[in-house]
Structure formats: structure tokens, C-alpha cells
A and B are shown apart, each in its own frame.
Chain A
Amino acid sequence: SYVLTQPPSVSVAPGQTARITCGGNNIGSKSVHWYQQRPGQAPVLVVYDDSDRPSGIPERFSGSNSGNTATLTISRVEAGDEADYYCQVWDSSSDHFYVFGTGTKVTVL
């Protein structure tokens, strides 16, 4: 099955930039989507199709995807960005059609 690997944690100071990677075999050939999950809350879509933002998501959230790595970038990090972040792809050959990454905890120092 298709595996998406994320770093367990990323720490960043307020106002700085956080970069969260999502590694997968030739992930650049797939569309990657990202979700934010604050403690005790449901996930929220923050980036879809590699780099598009849903309405209401700040421009500070951006994404890229190439080769074997997709990246979610959070610019000018705020305290409210502290959350778990998950990447996701759709893979018809997998036993889990919707594949989620392992998740990254972003801590704002």
C-alpha cells in the first residue's frame, strides 16, 4: 500500500516560517491535500490539489509538490496555527483509497 511519511514534530517561533514535508513514492504525480486539526477538533482542509486554498484559509498557508516530497508552508506563524497537520492523497491501488500521512505536530514556541 502507498505510504506517506511526515516528521512527527516541527517547532517554530511566532512570525517565522514552518515547513512540513510529506514523503511518498513519486508523490509529485499525485494531487496532495492538507488538513489542520486543532486539539479536540475535527480536521479542516487548508490546502487542496497541491497548492490551492479553500475560501477562508489565509494566504499564509501554501503548498508545493514535486518528485518524492510535498510541502506545506505556513508563513508568519501565529499561536493559532499550533495543531496537527496531515497530508492526504487518493491511491486506487492502495487498500486505503484515501491515504493519510502520519501527521506532524506543529508547536509555536
Chain B
Amino acid sequence: EVQLVESGGGLVQPGGSLRLSCAASGFTFSTYSMNWVRQAPGKGLEWVSYISSSSSTIYYADSVKGRFTISRDNAKNSLYLQMNSLRAEDTAVYYCARVAVAGWYFDLWGRGTLVTVSS
């Protein structure tokens, strides 16, 4: 089955760190660009970060630049998001999402993992 499964979410204090993982299966992970997208409680979708298939190109939203680091391990079919200096406004469900081969849109999403930043 083609799927993405996120893990690593939880409760963390402001200023703390957390590492999210996304396990891919059912497709050739190494040929796809990947992203993290988040959704604060009761709010809309916000793109967070992009990484190309070979990790040669990486982008971040201004809201997380300098604090978050995206990476991947194609041998392990896994995507990661290292989140440092977390703030209350980072509280959200974090989704990993696959970029379609033919265009700049997301054709496969995981179920998400909840990150709560609170003291």
C-alpha cells in the first residue's frame, strides 16, 4: 500500500526541540521530492519545508527558517524534520506530503502527528 506515516510528535516546552519522522512505503521514495505542511488547531494549511529527491534543494517558510531543518534518508525511505527553539505558535498537526512528479502539488499525504508547544 502506498502510504506515509508520521511519528515523533508530542508535548514540548517553549524553547525545546523535537524530531519528526515520516516513513514512506509502497513507492520509490528516492525519486520524489517531499515536504512538511502544518495545520494549527482550527486553522488552515501552512507549508513548512521542501526537500528535493536527492536533498540538493531545500526550502523553508520564513516562519521556521533558522529553527527547523529538513532531511531525508533514501536508504531508509524516511523524511525528517528537526525542530529547535520551538514556540507556542508552532503548535500544529504536522503532515508529510509527497510532491507529484508532474507538477507543484501534493498527491499523497500522511495522517499527521501533533506537536504541542506549551509550558
Is A109 on the interface with B (CB-CB < 8 A)? no
- When C-beta atoms are compared, the residue in chain B nearest to A41 turns out to be B111
Q: How many A residues, CB 8 Å from partner?
A: 25
Is A43 on the interface with B (CB-CB < 8 A)? yes
CB pair B45–A103 under 8 Å, yes or no, is yes
- The total number of A-B Cβ pairs within 8 Å is 62
- Residues of chain B in range 94-109 having any CB-CB distance to chain A below 8 Å: 95, 100, 103-107, 109
B44, B45, B50 — most chain A CB neighbours (10 Å):
B45
Which residue of A42, A96, A99 contacts B95 across the interface (Cβ within 8 Å)?
A: A42
CB pair A98–B44 under 8 Å, yes or no, is no
Q: How many B residues, CB 8 Å from partner?
A: 21
Is B59 on the interface with A (CB-CB < 8 A)? yes
Q: What separation, in Å, do the CA atoms of A33 and B105 have in the docked complex?
A: 7
- Residues of chain B in range 71-119 having any CB-CB distance to chain A below 8 Å: 95, 100, 103-107, 109-112
Top 7 nearest A-B pairs (CB, nearest first) are: A90-B104, A98-B47, A33-B105, A95-B62, A42-B109, A103-B44, A100-B45
